[in-house]
């Protein structure tokens, strides 16, 4: 295949073109800004939305027929700018989109690209490249981005002496290979001869502030190349997101249903929740997730306060908001799983040499094991600190992060609703019962009629095919949730293409989640066939990957006929086991050696016919 050139830069918006032509003398006057600010204070949210749409229409050229002549796009800035992202859960994608929007507002002409869709041969044509890269699990790139990483780190990657770049790496410091995907890109681009615009920034799960600082720094550098002033911040652009519900501004959804959906005698608990999205403006597609801004159990907060010898009523300030310590710990901070930040803070306060030793770069694996075995309260009890104040405790804690759940419903079938399937995480640690933050809240402290702060997290790499291609769905436990959404969608839209479900659970009698619905879809032909694996119904445990191998001939025939294959569930066990089974099936049924079978499966993924949503 010949080298592919990147697409030509998109024409600048009217606003961007005007912004590039403005000088300090022709910027908005004080009187004009006063008019803008007065308008912002006087309008209601629906009016603000209308005004936002009006200016968006100007920006998109929709209103140019009104007689006003649109200025010609400004001259090319001399260097192309691409914002490239790799994302598993959507955080990286959201940051990249926000970065592209801000870059456009500052007179730049960015091209936004997902690593999964990026034409890799275009890399050698790039000039300025900003990369937002998430790390998944134990240092892995996001699954949709694997092909890009293989190309970049492989022998076909080009020399990039004229490329300037900067990397924003996202990760979780409780893992040993923290931000490893971003670090790999950063190292490789340097090795290929590229020059850094700005040093890589590594972000923990509370990434908002460091990501904002990185974005500002790289855009300041690029905007300086244009020799054009940056627009004033806080102007009319704020209207566009004033009423949107997202991660920072979730919608308060009423709980319509919260029921246990396993039978008597089950060895696990699984619940079905239905949330009311009426009036939210939120929409989603099958495969998307819903984010829940969870809260800690107040009893867990009280236990931590008691272990520190503090007063729960002590006043504290969290980002300018006055709260009590008990409120801050219950609502704003991660107080269960500890992080390296907390180990560092507590080592300083306690003077514990053992904790200090865990901070060494050569102790990453040991530090991860320690964090998995000790919650915050366990560390506080093991290494007591006398005279600590509330601020000293909070300084080591990370902000409480939303939790994501696959949506188990379709808007086409359930308008204004979103359903989720939740298995509470329960276990014992140091002789005490522990529970997952969000799953415990949903199972133990959420009743019908309660409200939960929610938002939609799109998942464009877990989508039904656009046409009538067959689908094969593989899931275990709550991993079947998105498949319920898939089939509701197909039934509501009258799609008749073939669908095959592999479902895994513990016991047939007690754990057959959504059994009557699957059976109804089988009867009606919405679901063509279903294979189940109830692991604990016999002496030797059977899992979905074994059922796949048993049906290998038919499964391979479906793939040869264009079927799309989906995997949802546990990232540590289910996903790698299913992947290995798939390669085995392709090799055995297709008469291919291991390398060719792996290439076949890789091509399925590259063609978006093999999609995974694992956690």
Alpha helices in 497-566 (DSSP H): 508-511, 515-524, 544-550, 552-560
Q: Are 533 and 569 in contact (CB under 8 A)?
A: no
CATH number at residue 166: 3.40.50.360
Pair 225, 88 in one domain? yes
Q: What is the pLDDT of residues 288-329, one digit of tens each?
A: 999 999 999 999 999 999 999 999 999 999 999 999 999 999
Tell whether 1 is covered by a domain: no
Is the pLDDT assigned to residue 238 strictly greater than 70?
no
The reported pLDDT for the residue numbered 28 is 43
Pair 493, 351 in one domain? no
Tell whether 72 is covered by a domain: yes
Is the pLDDT assigned to residue 373 strictly greater than 90?
yes
**How does residue 496 score in pLDDT terms, banded at 50, 70 and 90?**
confident
CATH number at residue 409: 2.40.30.10
Instruction: Read off the tokens for 533.
Output: 């694996």
Q: What is the pLDDT of residues 182-210, one digit of tens each?
A: 999 999 999 999 999 999 999 999 898 99
CATH number at residue 315: 1.20.990.10
Pair 414, 382 in one domain? no
Pair 442, 485 in one domain? no
Residue ending a domain, among 377, 394, 411, is: 394
Pair 363, 486 in one domain? no
- Residue position matching structure tokens 């995974």: 612
The reported pLDDT for the residue numbered 39 is 54
Pair 428, 525 in one domain? no
The conformation of residue 248, written as its DSSP 8-state character, comes to T
The conformation of residue 26, written as its DSSP 8-state character, comes to G
Pair 147, 288 in one domain? no
Residue ending a domain, among 375, 394, 413, is: 394
C-alpha distances out from residue 482 to 418, 425, 437, 504, Å: 11, 20, 22, 14
Q: What is the pLDDT of residues 77-118, one digit of tens each?
A: 568 999 999 998 889 999 999 999 999 999 999 999 999 999
Tell whether 423 is covered by a domain: yes
Please report how the helices 91-105 and 208-226 are oriented relative to each other, as an axis angle in degrees rounded to 10.
Answer: 30
Task: Residue 338: name the closest of 392, 376, 394 by CA.
Answer: 376
Is the pLDDT assigned to residue 61 strictly greater than 50?
no
**How does residue 565 score in pLDDT terms, banded at 50, 70 and 90?**
very high
417: enclosing H helix or E strand: strand 417-422
Pair 23, 164 in one domain? yes
CB atoms within 10 A of CB 221: 14
**How does residue 233 score in pLDDT terms, banded at 50, 70 and 90?**
very low
Residue ending a domain, among 238, 269, 285, is: 238
Domain total of the chain: 4
Pair 155, 273 in one domain? no
The reported pLDDT for the residue numbered 137 is 76
Q: Which domain holds residue 343?
A: 298-394
Instruction: Read off the tokens for 536.
Output: 């604990």
Percentage of the chain modeled with pLDDT above 90: 75
User: Hey, what long-range contacts does 383-386 have (CB within 8 A, 24 or more apart)?
Assistant: 383/346, 383/350, 383/352, 383/354, 383/355, 384/350, 385/308, 385/346, 385/349, 385/350, 386/309
C-alpha distances out from residue 551 to 512, 545, 558, 559, Å: 21, 10, 11, 12
3-state secondary structure of 19: helix
The reported pLDDT for the residue numbered 88 is 84
Tell whether 178 is covered by a domain: yes
Alpha carbon distance, N-terminus to C-terminus of the chain: 36
Q: Where are the beta strands (DSSP E) in 277-320?
A: 289-292, 315-318
The conformation of residue 160, written as its DSSP 8-state character, comes to -
Task: Residue 97: name the closest of 213, 249, 243, 211 by CA.
Answer: 211
Instruction: Read off the tokens for 73.
Output: 């796009």
**How does residue 30 score in pLDDT terms, banded at 50, 70 and 90?**
very low
**Torsion-angle region of 75 (φ positive above 0: left; ψ -120 to 50: alpha; else: beta):** beta
347: enclosing H helix or E strand: helix 340-350
Average pLDDT for 562-577: 94
Pair 529, 407 in one domain? no
**How does residue 33 score in pLDDT terms, banded at 50, 70 and 90?**
very low
Tell whether 4 is covered by a domain: no
The reported pLDDT for the residue numbered 231 is 45
CA distance 103 to 99: 6
Pair 321, 214 in one domain? no
Q: What is the DSSP string of 208-220?
A: HHHHHHHHHHHHH
Tell whether 25 is covered by a domain: yes
Question: HSE of 479 in the Cβ direction (CA atoms, 13 Å)?
Answer: 24
Tell whether 466 is covered by a domain: no
Is the pLDDT assigned to residue 121 strictly greater than 50?
yes
Indicate the range of 64-68, 558-562, 574-578 predicted with least confidence.
64-68
CA distance 477 to 114: 30
Pair 47, 118 in one domain? yes
Is the pLDDT assigned to residue 22 strictly greater than 60?
no
Tell whether 85 is covered by a domain: yes
Q: What is the pLDDT of residues 391-435, one digit of tens each?
A: 999 999 999 999 999 999 999 999 999 999 999 999 999 999 999
């Amino acid at each position: 295949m010949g080298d592919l050139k990147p697409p030509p830069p998109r024409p600048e918006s009217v606003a961007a073109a005007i912004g590039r032509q403005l000088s300090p003398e022709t910027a908005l006057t004080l009187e004009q800004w006063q008019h803008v600010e007065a308008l912002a204070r006087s309008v209601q949210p629906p009016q603000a939305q209308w005004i936002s749409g009006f200016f968006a229409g100007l920006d998109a050229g929709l209103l140019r027929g009104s007689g006003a002549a649109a200025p010609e796009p400004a001259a090319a800035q001399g260097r192309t700018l691409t914002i490239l992202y790799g994302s598993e859960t959507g955080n990286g994608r959201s940051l990249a989109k926000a970065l592209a929007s801000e870059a456009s507002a500052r007179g730049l002409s960015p091209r936004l690209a997902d690593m999964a869709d990026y034409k890799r041969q275009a890399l050698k044509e790039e000039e300025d490249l900003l990369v937002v890269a998430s790390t998944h699990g134990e240092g892995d790139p996001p699954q949709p981005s694997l092909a890009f990483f293989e190309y970049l780190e492989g022998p076909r990657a080009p020399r990039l002496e004229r490329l300037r770049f900067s990397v924003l790496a996202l990760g979780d410091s409780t893992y040993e290979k923290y931000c490893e995907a971003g670090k790999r890109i950063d190292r490789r681009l340097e090795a290929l001869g590229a020059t850094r615009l700005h040093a890589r920034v590594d972000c923990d799960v509370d990434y908002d502030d460091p990501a904002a600082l990185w974005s500002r720094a790289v855009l300041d550098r690029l905007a300086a190349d244009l020799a054009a002033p940056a627009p004033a911040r806080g102007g009319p652009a704020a209207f566009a997101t004033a009423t949107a519900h997202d991660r920072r501004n979730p919608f308060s959804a009423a709980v319509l249903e919260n029921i246990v959906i396993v039978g008597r005698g089950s060895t696990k608990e699984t619940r079905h929740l239905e949330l009311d999205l009426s009036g939210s403006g939120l929409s989603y597609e099958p495969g998307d997730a819903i984010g829940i801004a969870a809260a800690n159990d107040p009893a867990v907060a009280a236990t931590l306060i008691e272990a520190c010898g503090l007063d729960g009523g002590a006043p504290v300030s969290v980002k300018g908001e006055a709260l009590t310590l008990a409120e801050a710990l219950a609502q704003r901070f991660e107080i269960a799983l500890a992080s390296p930040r907390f180990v560092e803070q507590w080592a300083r306060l306690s003077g514990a040499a053992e904790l200090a030793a865990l901070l060494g770069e050569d102790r990453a694996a040991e530090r991860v094991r320690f964090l998995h075995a000790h919650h915050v309260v366990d560390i506080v009890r093991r290494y007591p600190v006398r005279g600590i104040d509330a601020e000293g405790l909070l300084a080591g804690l990370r902000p409480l992060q939303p939790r994501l759940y696959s949506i188990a419903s379709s808007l086409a079938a359930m308008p204004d609703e979103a359903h989720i399937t939740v298995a509470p995480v329960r276990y014992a640690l140091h002789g005490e019962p522990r529970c997952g933050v969000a799953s415990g809240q949903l199972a133990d402290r959420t009743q019908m009629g309660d409200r939960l702060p929610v938002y939609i997290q799109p998942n464009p790499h877990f989508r039904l095919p656009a046409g009538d291609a067959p689908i094969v769905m593989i899931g275990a436990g709550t991993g079947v949730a998105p498949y319920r959404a898939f089939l509701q969608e197909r039934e509501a839209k009258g799609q008749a293409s073939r669908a095959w479900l592999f479902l895994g659970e513990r016991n047939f009698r007690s754990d057959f989640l959504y059994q009557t619905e699957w059976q109804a879809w089988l009867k009606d032909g919405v679901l063509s066939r279903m294979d189940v694996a109830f692991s604990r119904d016999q002496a030797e445990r059977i899992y979905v990957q074994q059922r796949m191998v048993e049906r290998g001939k038919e499964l391979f025939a479906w793939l040869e006929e264009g079927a799309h294959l989906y995997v949802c569930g546990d990232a540590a066990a289910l996903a790698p086991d299913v992947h290995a089974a798939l390669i085995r099936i392709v090799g055995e049924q297709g008469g291919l050696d291991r390398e060719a079978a792996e290439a076949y499966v890789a091509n399925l993924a590259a063609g978006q016919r093999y999609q995974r949503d694992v956690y």
